[in-house]
Amino acid sequence: MERFKTWPWPFSYLAMVGLAYFFGLMDVLTIGIAAPAIAATFGVSAAPLAALGGTLSLVGYVIGALGFSHISDAYGRRAGLTITLISYSVGSLWTALSPNVINVYASRLLTGVGIGADLAIAAAYLGELSPHGVRGRFQSFGTFLGFVGAGVTPFIGLLIIPAFSWGWRLFFVIGSLGALSLLYIRRVLPESPRWLISKGRVEDASRIVSKAEEFYKKKYGVLPPVEQSASKLAIVKGGKVPTLSLVTDRRYLTRLAILLPVFVLYYIYTYPYLVLTTSFLSAAGYTIASSLLIPGIGGFGFALGAFLSYVFSDYIERKYLISLLLFIQGLAMFAIGIKGPVPEEVGAYFLAAFSNTFLATALYIYAVENFPTRARSTGVAFTDGLGHIGGIFSLPFALSLFLSLGFSPTYYILGAFALVAAAVVLPGILSTRRKLEELTD
């Protein structure tokens, strides 16, 4: 697989994994955006509803990431993606049909279970299908399609939610459409050859790679020569998922000790920004229309950040890029906290959105590069999944900050967490444009 100089599969594979990201990341934002309308329907306060609903989603993320990611390492990436799509699609539809606020909370928990694993498994899958020289680029392109979902979600909410009394329900129905991609995933997407080799299924892996070679020759003409060292490094022992090795092997334990705090700090400031900003803006004196307009227009930065990640991911050393983007995130939180006129808040939100998706894409790629094929989804779950614990506590924490200190100090404190994370990531490994097997197995 490392002989290929570019993506050796049909573009539709990227698009389909991107679709899984699209609906997963779209649903991350839905509860925060729809909270004022849901609260009006059921006669409760918007900010506490968004905080509790978001917190329950994050609890689900941790459960799903650790549970389903292990299934992905044991039974295959396709099986893991299928389970996650079913879970979050059913959860989102349940939210749309909720007769009361209790059902909203329960459905957010189920949706979180699916999304938490979906992001970890999709990251591992794309990383394993990509040759090392373009791994960042094409993993970023898949996530770019996903972050388009994050970018358009506030805008969809702005168009739909105020238009009908039941607009928020239609908003969640749209989020449930990810289940439609299941047929394609089950019938077309190949299993990860690296995962197959880790299970000793070398012949199955060889057949899949042969199809990639045929596609590559048809599109590009000549196959580059095989690098002999790469084929030797790719063969690893199969068997059960060696979860304990991630904490007993000093190499992986050190990586966990760096990456887990980075993800925790990232989610401590990210989820209040994503989930509570609309409600905080409304409570701080902005009109409902303005509180939807600021993330609605500023949210286009999500797609730009993911696109720039596609362009630059393989040209800048990953850990330094992550550190720089965390620094920009801190500045963006400070800018939101200034509480300026609507155009300035739109600009601050755009900067935060742009740098956040650029950063999130880089973090997912970096997590994939830090762990071995036989436990890659589990390793990503240990960092990204457990990192959501920071998000679980961040929502009530941010809400209490807002109620006691006000709008501006809340965002200044959130920005400080981003600056700390920028320093924590620096001792990590160098990984850009290096083969996965050289970094891990």
pLDDT digits (tens, 9 = 90+) for 102-160: 999 999 999 888 887 787 788 888 888 988 888 888 888 777 777 777 667 877 888 88
Confidence of residue 377 (pLDDT cuts 50, 70, 90): confident
What CA–CA distance (Å, rounded) separates 97 from 111? 14
Residue 222, SS3? coil
Confidence of residue 234 (pLDDT cuts 50, 70, 90): very low
Tens digit of pLDDT for each residue in 349-366? 999 999 998 998 899 889
Residue 338, SS3? coil
What CA–CA distance (Å, rounded) separates 196 from 77? 10
Lowest mean pLDDT among 82-86, 107-111, 140-144, 164-168: 140-144
The residue with greater pLDDT, 7 or 242, is 7
CATH of domain 11-222+229-439: 1.20.1250.20
How much is the pLDDT for 343?
92
Angle formed at CA 373 by CA 367 and CA 376, multiple of 5 degrees? 40
How much is the pLDDT for 233?
39
| pTM of the predicted model as reported, rounded to 2 decimal places | 0.81
| Sequence-distant (≥ 6) Cβ neighbours of residue 196 within 8 angstroms | 202, 204, 205, 208
Tokens of 120: 């970890």
Residue 162, SS3? helix
pLDDT at residue 239 greater than cutoff 50: no
Angle formed at CA 240 by CA 258 and CA 116, multiple of 5 degrees? 50
How much is the pLDDT for 258?
96
How much is the pLDDT for 231?
45
What CA–CA distance (Å, rounded) separates 202 from 353? 42
